[in-house]
Amino acid sequence: MLKSILLKAVPVPKIDQFERYLFVGPHPDDIEVACGATVAKLVSLGKKVTFIVCTDGRIGALDESLTSEQIVEIRRQEALASAKLLGVDDVAFLPFHDGGNYTADELANALVPYILQTQPQMVFCPDHTVPSECHPDHLKTGQAVTKAVFLASWPKLTVQLGLEGSAPNVNLAYYYTHKPNRYFGIKKFRKVHLDAIACHKSQFDENNLKVFKTYFGVRQLRFGLRSGKGRADGYRVLSPTHQHCFPEIAE
């Protein structure tokens, strides 16, 4: 009961209560795979949505004859086509190599200018605290976004990066999470979600897409039953207060 009182004092933000959103993906397909239905719904509600893709996806494709340079270009075009299908035309690509030796701090510093430019009210990224997550790019992206949001909040920190201004009061929403605390109904957007994933032909064949259809169908139904929303995506959402002085949010 006492925890409920604390959460009423500092509530978990609702996914659709803002106007500007930034989605950050480790690779050219992660945003669509994890959040495609959510993105499509937010766009349909008239929200401003921006994508940032952190790495170039150069290390893998179904066609093993492709060079790394060919894969990079193919995946960029697939990402743009997928974003367009979801209604997003503001897509930025960072220069980090897929599976590269960059650090989370380097990535965080690269993300801060985009946060200052777009002034998002909610930023989506992978949940780097998931016990089963093993992909270095996913872990570093989650860590980097978390740090970049903090850095961008304070003008005295951004000036140390040679930048001006700040982006205060940014909420975080972690996808690929094991501890969702906020659900977003997406029943009408399930098909466009799968169609957006299908744009990434270099990565997914028909068998992959069948697996995705089954997995997300069950996952979204599970979240929908929890929340009473029919079909839903689930996120671990942290307001600025939850991000550094509200440990109860992790319970």
pLDDT tens readout for residues 181-205: 999 999 999 999 999 999 999 999 9
- Please state the pTM of the whole predicted model: 0.96
Q: Retrieve residue 83's tokens.
A: 């974003």
Q: For the chain, which residues make up each domain, given as ranges?
A: 20-250
Q: Give residue for tokens 């209604």.
A: 87
What average pLDDT does the segment 216-241 reach? 96
DSSP letter, residue 251? -
Q: What pLDDT, on a 0 to 100 scale, did the predictor assign at position 17?
A: 97
Question: For 7-33, b where at least 16 C-beta lie within 10 A, e where not — what string?
Answer: beeeebbebeebebbbbbbbbbbbbbb
pLDDT at 1: 63
- Answer yes or no: is pLDDT of 9 > 90: no
pLDDT of residue 50: 98
- Mean pLDDT, the chain, integer: 96
Confidence check: pLDDT of 227 > 80? yes
For range 206-221, the mean pLDDT: 96
Domain at 20-250, CATH from 3.30.2020.10, 3.40.50.300, 3.40.50.740, 3.40.50.10320? 3.40.50.10320
The string of pLDDT tens digits covering residues 95-126 is: 999 999 999 999 999 999 999 999 999 999 99
In this prediction, residue 2 carries a pLDDT of 74
Q: What is the mean pLDDT of residues 23-51?
A: 98
Would you list the DSSP string of 54-121? EE--TT--S-TTS-HHHHHHHHHHHHHHHHHHHT---EEEEEEPTT-S--HHHHHHHHHHHHHHH--S
Share of the chain above pLDDT 70, in %: 100
Q: Above 90 in pLDDT, residue 62?
A: yes
**Segment 3-23 mean pLDDT:** 90
